[in-house]
């Protein structure tokens, strides 16, 4: 699914420089850094150029999610239109929060760092915010998790294909 989304986005963004394309893809929820690195490999962006671009793109939304998502959700839940959507998003996110709740920093680090469907900086930050994990603990965990995810994704998008 991620590969197809990335391929479609790469095609849609073909008229902008590849670096901007991977930056924007890395900012998109669901795709995030994983999608950005896949797109970078497809667009033949060198790995040492792709890594910082994708990391920065994925990190930009994180502080805003950690600081502002809870008050935004509280406000949105006061409306009939958005309440069901917000409650479903909270329920879905908190359904993935067992290990984060139990281990906090290390749980969040692994949740963000192991690139599986439904994990990543956006969801990890949302869960951290909903669990009231302090910014000074959540932000470093997300940053380190992104470094782990970067390492894993670089192996799958650059190293393994280069071997074959």
- pLDDT single digits (tens) 24-39: 999 999 899 999 999 9
Q: Determine the Cα–Cα distance for residues 126 and 130; give it in Å rounded to an integer.
A: 6
Contact 124, 97 (CB under 8 A): no
Name the residue among 160, 86, 163, 148 with its Cα closest to residue 116. 148
- Characterise 30 by phi-psi region: left (phi > 0), alpha (psi -120 to 50), beta (else): left
- pLDDT single digits (tens) 84-143: 999 998 998 888 888 888 899 999 999 999 998 889 999 999 999 999 999 999 999 999
CA angle, 31 as apex, 29 and 37 as ends, to 5°? 135
- For the chain, the 3-state helix, strand and coil shares in percent, each to the nearest 5, are 75, 0, 25
The pTM (predicted TM-score) of the whole model is 0.88
Name the residue among 86, 74, 62 with its Cα closest to residue 138. 62
Residue 1's pLDDT band (cuts 50, 70, 90): low
Q: Determine the Cα–Cα distance for residues 50 and 31; give it in Å rounded to an integer.
A: 15
Domain positions in the chain: 2-59+150-163, 61-148
Contact 70, 130 (CB under 8 A): yes
- pLDDT single digits (tens) 58-74: 999 999 999 999 999 99
């Amino acid at each position: 699914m991620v590969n197809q989304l990335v391929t479609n986005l790469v095609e849609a963004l073909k008229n902008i420089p590849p670096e901007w394309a991977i930056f924007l893809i890395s900012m998109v929820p669901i795709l995030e850094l994983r999608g950005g690195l896949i797109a970078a490999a497809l667009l033949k962006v060198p790995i040492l150029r792709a890594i910082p671009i994708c990391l920065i793109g994925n990190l930009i939304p994180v502080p805003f999610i950690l600081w502002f998502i809870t008050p935004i959700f509280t406000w949105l839940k006061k409306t009939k239109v958005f309440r069901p959507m917000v409650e479903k998003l909270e329920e879905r996110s908190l359904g993935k929060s067992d290990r984060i709740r139990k281990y906090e920093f290390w749980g969040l680090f692994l949740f963000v760092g192991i690139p599986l469907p439904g994990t990543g900086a956006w969801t990890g930050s949302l869960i951290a915010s909903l669990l009231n994990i302090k910014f000074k603990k959540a932000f470093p965990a997300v940053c380190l998790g992104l470094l782990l995810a970067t390492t894993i994704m670089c192996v799958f998008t650059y190293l393994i294909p280069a071997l074959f």
